Amino acid sequence: MSDTDPRTDLPEGARPKEQLKTDPTKPAQRMGAGTMTITLLPWIIASIAMMVLPMIFTNNSALTIMNQMSITIIFALAYNMLLGQGGMLSFGHAVYAGVGGFFCMHLMNMSDFFAMLPLPVLPLFGGLFGMGLALIVGAFSTRSAGTVFAMISLGVGELIAASSVIVVAFFGGEEGISGDRTYAQPFFGVEFLQQQEVYYLTAAWVIISAALMYAWSRTPVGRMANAVRDNPERAEFLGYSARWVRYYSFVASGFFAGVSGGLFAINYEILTEENLNAASSGIILLVTFLGGVGFFFGPIIGAVVFTLVQTVLSLETELWAFYAGSLFVATVMFFPGGLAGLIMMHVPAFKLGKAKLLVMPYLKTLLPAALGILGLCALVEMTFHYRHGATGDNEMTLFWTTFDSHTLLPWIIAGAVALIGIAIARKTAPDLKDAWNEANTAGGGS
Amino acid sequence: MSTPALELTGLKKSFGKAEIIRGIDLSIGKAERHAIIGPNGAGKSTLFNLITARFAATEGTVKLHGENLAGLEPFQINRKGLSRSFQITNIFPRMSVFENVRCALLWSQGYKYSFWNIVNRQRTLTEGADAILEQINLSERRNLPAGTLSYAEQRALEIGITIAGGANVIMLDEPTAGMSNTETDYIMDLIMRVTEGKTLIMVEHDMGVVFGLADRISVLVYGEIIATNTPELVRADPKVQEAYLGAALEAEH
Amino acid sequence: MDLILVNLIDGLVTGLLLFMLSAGLTLIFSMMGVLNFAHASFYMLGAYFGYQISIALGFWMGLLVAPLIVGVMGAAVERYGLRRVHQYGHVPELIFTFGLALLIEELVQFIWGKNQMPYDVPDILNFTAFAISGNSIPAYKIFMIFISVGIFIGLLYILTKTRVGMIIQAALSYPRTVEALGHNVPLIFMGVFGVGTALAGVAGVIAGPVLGTFPGMAFVLGSIVFVTIVIGGLGSLWGALVASLLIGWITTFAKSYNIEMENILNAIGIATPENMDENLFRDFWSLTSPQIADILPYILMVLILIFRPAGLFGKRTQ
């Protein structure tokens, strides 16, 4: 019933966790141990922000990007119900979003039924179908946790994605299934022809879904999901079947994934095999982990940042996926708390009122480091262009300058910037470390 | 004769060819405080694991309040009123002390797998958890991550989680392991208070604790119980002296 | 009858290739508890390095040198990457190897581009070994079989008959004890990881010319490899062998014989529906075995998980 860790021969639950350096007389700062009350303020601010954004960014491409962010946010939050809250790593979660989306597309094409349905309700159906699939798959996949669960999720995900090319009736084969959202029942006169109308629909669903998922994490089953994640054996001896807790989390996660699929259907009016495949599953893992699995808002940050990288950065360079991959590996190795973890790391300093101490050291270290990294990126870009550019096409544009990648000067400049930037950063890093320790210790100094 | 709280009949456990538990018959009455002692490697933890279904027995039966526990999962056994602590501290290190205890209360207060109650709003949960924190003297550490507590505090929390659910058969696996004398006294006092009126089964090495707490003692040697009796009679039993206490008493002279 | 023989050989080639990958994966998993998601990426690197070296120094140098390079890279990954992440737990380890797989795929595209490489069978092996009733069996396939079997026998010998092998086997189950006996367990871990990935590299060098050398090759084979070890049972080398051969043969036979679902359903008494174009299950009716050949391993995995979750020879039962 228990797994022993091959390296320590201890039961899994007994692995010593990293100790915090918090002052015992101050309240704890990590999310799971902090205050548990639901404060409404962040939610109100977020809602207002979402309502106001389209008035600031009015062009359609900005709206499209924001919609893409919203869909990814819901999907990432749903994924984190498994990964961050439940400790379950799934490599095949896209299928629940995809299947939910496909069902919604079929509903769109059932003209009689669809004409009676107000469009805002459609994602609900997506959620129900995603949940349905999760009910079936979870029945056998949640028997285990950890590595076995991950492998099962990969296999099942691949099975469904591969089946999609075979079962043309449901998945539409190569072309997928497309539809038209405007044939729904008009919702208070709105037919959702305008991108802005779709934005508000999506935004409403984001707020509602996020609020529901947050509330879930505050319910008995949500709390026990955390418990089962940290120590399944202990949870069993508290009267809870770890297996059932995981199952319920899995099903709930499938529901919200399906909601994101339904919103995808509304936004893009087409679903293809791409929505189901392992690449999509991999992306949501990247997004969620990058944002930070230990905090509720982590996946939200990850979704926003990744969407920006994917849409904006991809316009600048062909290598954006390479950078994303490198960032991901760096995150896993050096700051596994993700971006949210990085942010929350500063909370103790803020609470002590000593955050100001960090500003100068950060500038002195991070600025050169950033320049150094940009220098490295320049070298990478030039190498790529040199190697794969069309013969004769020696010119490339980088950082608003056009130059010939086959001459030596740009390489020297980029190399120098990289070296100098990193060298300065390394030199000032110890000062940053000292400032950090100073900012995190209580007491104003004698 | 009232039903014993816990009854073991012909219990055996082998791992491959190695027979660890060689046939144990034991009957523990309600509200009895029973200690199990024995040299290292005697199989004490294995015995605990058999009773709580962490392992399946090779032979024999375990009955809780007369009910056969065969084939049940640990969580099912726990719901029938048996709770255990672990030799290596087994709490939820990332949750706050308060949350640890609250999780222990959820099932017993009937919340099951509900997703329609927000735990913070349930007063019975909060008050119940705070009451237990009072009992185990950790109210001051309420909101700290459990992983930051000192060793003895974590052991106290472990005990708190074990009794929180209201189980009437409490099994403690070496509760005072690795503690100083003051810490041991503290834990001993805690155990006496929180297990008032409940059946307590304890594996222990510290003879002071054993002789101070237990109503009866069983001595486990090489997978068999060689004596079950009141502390004085066990102390005087020549078999026990030879197998277990003898060497220690010799060393003391 | 002869077709069966041809398929047996083809299936054997695939199965042995799969085993080369799943054996290394199983070794690494048994010893370190980490499932190396990037294992197939090292297979891909083997193919690419093999190709690159073969341009300059010929296929045989590639076969010799490429796995060594891959093995060294693998050892470095363990030493500088995995070891660092290990402290956070199994899930972060898996996520790390996943990120690594992603990165390696991007790296390969960065260096060699997105197109398939013209990695060909060496001329010396580019002939037909023999023919079975009209189906020619390339000598290269026989070569692949021999290399694979040779490597296994070597591996088996090292693991069971040499002192190093004994230590490795012991460290597989009780690393702390082995360390207490004075053996350098971290070095052993690094070595096993290096050997495991080198094995994957060998598979890449010899499979590259046949299966194609392109950036997606890691993923295509990778998920099948994971399915293989789940079916065989996590942590069991024999299970990996049986499962690999099973999958190799099942997929080969399914592709070769055109078994139609319609015929099967008719045979058990269900008549073909009249209007196939409107029928909801038309895809199901028109299923043929070649169509589902590639997803048969996944179906098998799901079945095993439902009825025998530990896999065929699984050790780590819940």
Nearest to B75 among A36, A219, A240 (CB): A240
Q: Which two tokens stand for residue A223?
A: 């709390």
Residue B251 pLDDT greater than 70, yes or no: no
- Tens digit of each residue's pLDDT (9 = 90 or more) over C261-318: 777 777 777 777 777 676 667 777 777 778 788 888 988 888 887 787 777 777 544 3
- Side-chain half-sphere exposure of A375, counting CA atoms within 13 A: 19
Residue A36 pLDDT greater than 50, yes or no: no
Contact B95 A35 (CB under 8 A): no
- 3-state SS of chain A: helix, strand, coil percent to 5? 70, 5, 25
Contact B103, A224 (CB under 8 A): yes
Burial C153-188 (b: 16+ CB within 10 A, else e): eebeeebeeeeeeebbebbbeebeebeeeebebeeb
Which of C299, C157, C314 shows the shortest CA–CA distance to C235? C314
Which residues share a beta bridge with C136?
C131
Residue of A nearest to B145 (CA): A33
Q: Which two tokens stand for residue A66?
A: 């924001």
- The DSSP secondary-structure symbol of B168 reads S
Average pLDDT over chain A, rounded to an integer:
83
**Distance between CA A211 and CA B105 in Å, rounded?**
26
> Cβ contacts (< 8 Å) between A229 and chain C: which residues?
none
- Tens digit of each residue's pLDDT (9 = 90 or more) over A122-174: 999 999 999 999 999 999 889 888 888 888 898 899 889 888 888 888 888 78
Give the pairing type, strands A270-271 and A401-404. Answer: unpaired
From residue A291, give the alpha-carbon distance in Å to each of A41, A82, C124: 22, 15, 53
Which of A401, A356, A329 shows the shortest CA–CA distance to C80? A329
Q: Which two tokens stand for residue A264?
A: 């995808």
**Among A residues 239-258, those touching chain B with beta carbons less than 8 Å apart:** 239-242, 244-245, 248, 252
B220 alpha-carbon distance from chain centroid: 16
Which residue ranges form the domains of chain B, and what is each CATH number? 31-40+72-252 (3.40.50.300)
Which of B231, B234, B212, B211 shows the shortest CA–CA distance to B221? B234
Contact A331, A290 (CB under 8 A): yes
Give the pairing type, strands B199-203 and B33-37. Answer: parallel
Which chains does C contact via 3+ CB–CB distances below 8 A? Answer: A
Which chains does B contact via 3+ CB–CB distances below 8 A? Answer: A
Average pLDDT over chain B, rounded to an integer:
86
Contact A223 B106 (CB under 8 A): yes
- The number of residues in chain A equals 446
> Cβ contacts (< 8 Å) between A141 and chain C: which residues?
305
**Among C residues 208-237, those touching chain A with beta carbons less than 8 Å apart:** 219, 223, 226-227, 229-230, 234
A202: pLDDT confidence band, cut at 50, 70 and 90?
A: very high
> Cβ contacts (< 8 Å) between A238 and chain B: which residues?
75, 78, 103-104, 106-107, 161, 165
- Per-domain residue ranges for chain C? 2-222+232-245
- Tens digit of each residue's pLDDT (9 = 90 or more) over C208-234: 888 888 888 888 888 889 889 888 887
**Distance between CA A258 and CA A205 in Å, rounded?**
12
Q: What is the pLDDT along chain C (318 residues), one digit of tens a residue?
A: 677 888 888 899 889 999 989 988 888 887 777 888 899 999 999 999 999 898 888 888 888 899 999 999 999 999 998 888 888 878 888 899 999 999 999 999 888 888 888 888 887 777 777 777 667 788 888 888 888 888 888 888 887 888 877 887 777 677 778 778 877 878 888 888 898 899 899 999 988 888 888 888 888 888 889 889 888 887 778 888 899 999 999 988 888 887 777 777 777 777 777 776 766 677 777 777 787 888 889 888 888 877 877 777 775 443
**Virtual torsion, Cα B60, B64, B70, B76, nearest 10 deg:** -150
Say which residue, A209 or C286, is predicted with more confidence: A209
**Distance between CA A137 and CA A152 in Å, rounded?**
10
Task: Return the SS3 of A238.
Answer: coil
**Distance between CA A88 and CA A80 in Å, rounded?**
9
From residue B164, give the alpha-carbon distance in Å to each of A111, A238, B130, B158: 57, 9, 11, 10
Average pLDDT value for residue range B195-207 = 88
- Tens digit of each residue's pLDDT (9 = 90 or more) over A305-322: 999 989 888 888 888 889
Q: Which two tokens stand for residue A128?
A: 């129900």
Say which residue, C285 or A111, is predicted with more confidence: A111
- The DSSP secondary-structure symbol of A185 reads B
Residue of B nearest to A215 (CA): B118
Q: Which pLDDT score, from 0 to 100, does residue A38 have? A: 53
Q: Which two tokens stand for residue A202?
A: 């999506």
Q: Which pLDDT score, from 0 to 100, does residue A444 have? A: 54
Nearest to B54 among A2, A20, A245 (CB): A2
- The DSSP secondary-structure symbol of B96 reads B
Q: Above pLDDT 90, what percent of chain A?
A: 33
Give the H/E segment covering residue A402.
strand A401-404
Q: Which pLDDT score, from 0 to 100, does residue A167 have? A: 82
Q: Using only C-alpha atoms, what is the Rg of chain A? A: 24
Q: Which pLDDT score, from 0 to 100, does residue A8 have? A: 41
Which of B137, B64, B59, B57 shows the shortest CA–CA distance to B97? B137
A25: pLDDT confidence band, cut at 50, 70 and 90?
A: very low
**Distance between CA A218 and CA A34 in Å, rounded?**
13
ipTM computed for the complex: 0.84
DSSP collapsed to 3 states, chain C: CHHHHHHHHHHHHHHHHHHHHHHHHHHHHHHHCCCCCCHHHHHHHHHHHHHHHHHHHCHHHHHHHHHHHHHHHHHHHHHHHHHHHHCCCHHHHHHHHHHHHHHHHHHHHHHHCCCCECCCCCHHHCCEEEEECCEEEEHHHHHHHHHHHHHHHHHHHHHHHCHHHHHHHHHHHCHHHHHHCCCCHHHHHHHHHHHHHHHHHHHHHHHHHHHCECCCHHHHHHHHHHHHHHHHCCCCHHHHHHHHHHHHHHHHHHHHCCCEHHHHHHHCCCCCCCCCCCCCCHHHHCCEHHHHHHHHHHHHHHHHHHHCCCCCCCCCCC
**Virtual torsion, Cα C225, C229, C230, C231, nearest 10 deg:** 100
> Cβ contacts (< 8 Å) between B54 and chain A: which residues?
1-2, 233
Contact A157, A91 (CB under 8 A): yes
